[in-house]
A = this chain, B = another copy of it.
Amino acid sequence: MSTLANDGRNRQLFMTRFPQGEAGPGDFEVREAPMPEPKDGEVLVEAHYLSVDAALRLIMRDSKDFLFRVQPGDLVRGGVAGKIVESRNPNFKPGDFVTGGLGVQNYAVSDGTGLSKVDTSIAPLPQWLGGMGVSGLTAYFAVTEECKPGPGHTMVVNGAAGAVGSIAGQIGRILGAKVIGITGSDEKGKWLTEELGFDVAINYKKGDLYEQLVKAAPDRINSIFDNVGGDILNESLRWIALRGVVLLCGSTSQYTQEKMEGPSNYIWLGTMRARMQGFVVYDYADKFAAAQAQLAQWVKEGKLVMRENVVDGDVGDFPDVFQRLYHGENRGKMVIRLQAASA
């Protein structure tokens, strides 16, 4: 085991109590576990990057309504990109890079279910958690299969500087739509328009959001790619176009609320014959490889920018980094680079 990086130690992050409001360091605990040993058919994965996703907060709650949830005493769920360090499974060999939902820990054993081998000659490893991973695939299928933008179509992306929103908006542009990004700072807005090619960026903290949307989208909004919920969704809904679509990708503004708030302007769906559509990327699993090839091609052609917001740290830094998501500090995909990544 002396070849293992991450100090050769396995730290794991557990949730200790249900968070109130934002989840913070006091809701978690790091425990050191023995190094797991793969049995026949299993592999040992060494985590190099941890995916930090806002949606985690949604399932950290005391509700039986959720199929997937994190309860006090549970290992924190999360996506990992890492390397096979030991294999007793013929589908994987030591040195293979993989991604999978292995949880917030340095090492994990897996029977291969839900593990994906990734090709780091096509994209660097952390990108397989971001633009080439679940975030990018969500953007890709939500936009191409549900929003269906094209010339003459105006698309609004809420949470536009985030991991999914930043890719979704760019795909909208590639397909010919006018894309308006809503974000929480002028700096991020500048990034959207100057580096990612968004047509318009709106800072929802400045001025009347609805008025700004009406100005930016004089012919109303054909699709709303919503990661945020709350007031931002609500004001966008008020300006939905005839037969428009609201793609529900996430509701970050609501995850920390004990009592969530629905969009009162949902009644505009009625008048405008519009629809609010739920979406889960795993429904498209059989088309992931083709989508990843397309995404990589767009990157190569300079049409698509994938950005990771990389923080160096360890398992114990996860709660801090997670909290930053709620303060709108990230651009693109937030990941923690573990020591093993540079070993």
Contact = CB atoms under 8 A, between A and B. Distances in A.
A248 B262 contact: no
How many copies the complex holds: the figure is 2
B262 A269 contact: no
Given A234-B262, A278-B272, A267 B283 contact: no
Contact of A266 (B65, B262, B279, B283): B262
A229 interface: yes
Contacts of A266: 248, 262-263, 266, 276
Interface residues of A, number: 34
A132 B244 CA distance: 30
A283 to B, nearest CB: 7
B249 A270 contact: yes
Interface of A: 58, 65, 67, 229, 234, 238, 248-251, 254, 259-280, 283
Given A229-B267, A248-B269, A275-B276, 13 more contacts: A58-B267, A248-B266, A251-B267, A254-B264, A261-B264, A262-B266, A266-B266, A266-B276, A269-B276, A271-B278, A271-B280, A273-B279, A275-B277
19 contacts: A58-B267, A249-B270, A251-B270, A254-B264, A260-B264, A260-B267, A261-B262, A262-B262, A266-B276, A268-B278, A269-B278, A270-B279, A270-B280, A271-B278, A273-B280, A273-B283, A275-B275, A275-B276, A275-B277
